[in-house]
């Protein structure tokens, strides 16, 4: 069905906070999503959506989304938002923070809207405080640096993303292999240390032999002179 023939169009809220939108006649509070996969939904007419788009940044900043099967037509033909593919959803933000790439981090630092970047920091804070996922210190520093830029009014970032800012391309199998090799080396070192300790203990337990050993109770035999013994005189 063409969008113009649809009675209502679903607005999707993937955020963890309430989003309020106002139409010409009413205001609506869209409840927060329980996670980044299952959005809350508010159905509005096309005219209401066009009014919201003309009076707020809800669609321009990516706060509210549309179902995938109509989003391209909505953004390009009705809302006139050509860069909609660069709008970051909470799920996109999670992916960039946890698995940074050159392209992902570039999208992050190119955000010019303070409200959108506040959402990025909110996702970062949630991941850091409520999950066991490791977050790169470089990613944390990039988020902090871009936030500082926006607070100073710098819209076009001066941050340069480098290859070292991304996660090294090491497979899970390679990581597991390195861990096994490291464990084997640690075990070998422990065995060698034990062997050396045992050898030292054995050496210390042996009695020491004196070079000047004396034999008690024996006498040195007296050597006899050769020849007959002299006659005794009376």
Q: Which residue has the tokens 């991304």?
A: 166
d(CA 83, CA 62): 11
3-state secondary structure of 29: strand
d(CA 20, CA 47): 17
pLDDT for 178 equals: 61
pLDDT for 2 equals: 85
Is 9 in contact with 44 (CB distance < 8 Å)?
yes
User: How many C-beta atoms surround the C-beta of residue 189 within 10 A?
Assistant: 10
Output the pTM of the full model. Answer: 0.64
d(CA 22, CA 190): 69
Block mean pLDDT (10 aa), the chain, length 234: 89 92 93 86 96 94 94 95 90 93 93 91 90 84 95 94 74 57 80 82 65 48 58 54
Residue 138's alpha-carbon distances to 71, 97, 112, in angstroms, are 34, 10, 20
Is 66 in contact with 23 (CB distance < 8 Å)?
no
What string of DSSP letters covers 4-27?
Answer: GG-S-EEEEE-SSS-EEEE-SS-E
pLDDT for 171 equals: 44
pLDDT for 169 equals: 42
- The count of residues in the chain is 234
* The two three-digit tokens of residue 194, written as one number: 């034990």
Domain boundaries, the chain: 3-86, 90-165
* The two three-digit tokens of residue 192, written as one number: 């060698």
């Amino acid at each position: 069905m063409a969008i113009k023939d649809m009675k209502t169009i679903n607005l999707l809220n993937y955020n963890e906070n309430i989003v309020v939108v106002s139409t010409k006649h009413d205001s609506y509070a869209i409840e927060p999503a329980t996670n980044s996969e299952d959005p809350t939904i508010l159905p509005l007419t096309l005219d209401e959506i066009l009014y919201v788009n003309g009076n707020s940044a809800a669609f321009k900043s990516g706060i509210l989304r549309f179902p995938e099967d109509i989003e391209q037509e909505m953004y390009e033909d009705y809302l006139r938002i050509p860069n909609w593919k660069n709008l970051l959803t909470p799920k996109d933000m999670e992916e960039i923070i946890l698995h940074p790439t050159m392209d992902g981090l570039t999208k992050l630092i190119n955000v010019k809207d303070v409200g959108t970047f506040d959402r990025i920091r909110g996702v970062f804070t949630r991941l850091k405080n409520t999950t066991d996922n490791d977050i790169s210190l470089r990613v944390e520093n990039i988020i902090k640096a871009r936030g500082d830029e926006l607070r100073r009014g710098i819209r076009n970032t001066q941050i340069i993303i480098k290859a070292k800012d991304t996660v090294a391309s090491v497979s899970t199998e390679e990581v597991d292999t390195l861990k096994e090799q490291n464990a084997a080396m640690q075990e070998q070192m422990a065995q060698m240390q034990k062997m050396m300790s045992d050898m030292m203990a054995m050496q210390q337990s042996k009695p020491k032999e004196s070079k000047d050993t004396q034999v008690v109770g024996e006498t040195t035999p007296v050597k006899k002179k050769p020849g007959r013994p002299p006659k005794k005189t009376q």
